[in-house]
Amino acid sequence: MLKRVWLLGCVVACLGFIMPMTAQEGHPLTGTWGGDWGPNPTTRNHLTVVLNWDGKNVTGFINPGPDSITLASVYLDVASWTVRLEAEAKDAAGKPVHITAEGKLEDISSYHRKIIGSWVQGTTRGDFRLTRD
């Protein structure tokens, strides 16, 4: 059993290394981004953001699935490679909550470029970190 787990680990590790070789070289925001946000290092919330450049606007949503949140706006400042995301979500009680995230696009030539910055969701302030899958 241990051997099989180890072999599976080997395969996953190799795939993980091979996959980044097929980078996306088009619009730097297009793609699926994974990461988290939270008010402090120990309280984190999983985050998946899907973005797509249609030639005029970047559209997308947060956490795809039945509870996905459509992004109301995505703004990319190409002079500074800063990104601003805005969305309307709902809290656990179903009350509307506004999300504003501002971050900087880093390592734009990398297979796994990142967006790192601040995340404000309702009255909660924190930080977020996204890495392109």
Partner 1 sequence: MKRVWLHTLVIVLGLAITVLIAAAQRSNTATYDGNRQVKLQGPVTRIDWVNPRAFFFVDVKDANGTVMNWAVDFGNPLELEREGWKKSSLHIGDVVTVDGSPARSESREAFAKSVVLTSSGKRLFGPPTAKPAAAVSLPTPRWPDNQVRFGPSPGKKGYWGASSSRVLVDDKGGKIPMNEDGLLLNISDADRVAPFQPWAKALYLNRQRNLLKDDPLGRCLPQGGPRQFQMPNGFQFIEQRELGRILILLGGGDRNWRVIYTDGRPAVPAAEAVLTYYGTSTGRWDKDTLVVDSAGYSERFWMANGGLPHTEALHLIERFSRPNYDTLKYEVTVDDPRTYTRPWTATWTVQWVPDKEIEEYFCEDNAEHTFVR
Residue numbers at the binding site for partner 1 (CB under 8 A): 3, 6-7, 10, 13-14, 17-18, 21-28, 30, 53-55, 76, 78-79, 81, 108-110
Using the minimum distance from each CB to partner 1, give the nearer residue, 17 or 41. Answer: 17
Q: What is the Cα–Cα distance from 131 to 116, expressed in whole angstroms?
A: 9
CB closer to partner 1, 127 vs 133: 133
Q: Which residue has the tokens 């390592």?
A: 107
Q: Which residues pair with residue 75 across a beta bridge?
A: 84
- Token readout for 130 is 């996204």
SS3 label, residue 12: helix
Q: Based on CB atoms, which residue is closest to partner 1, 78 or 92?
A: 78
Q: Least CB distance from residue 133 to partner 1, whole Å? A: 14
Give the bridge partners for 117, in sequence order.
103, 128
Taking the complex as a whole, the smallest distance from the CB of residue 18 to partner 1 amounts, in Å, to: 7
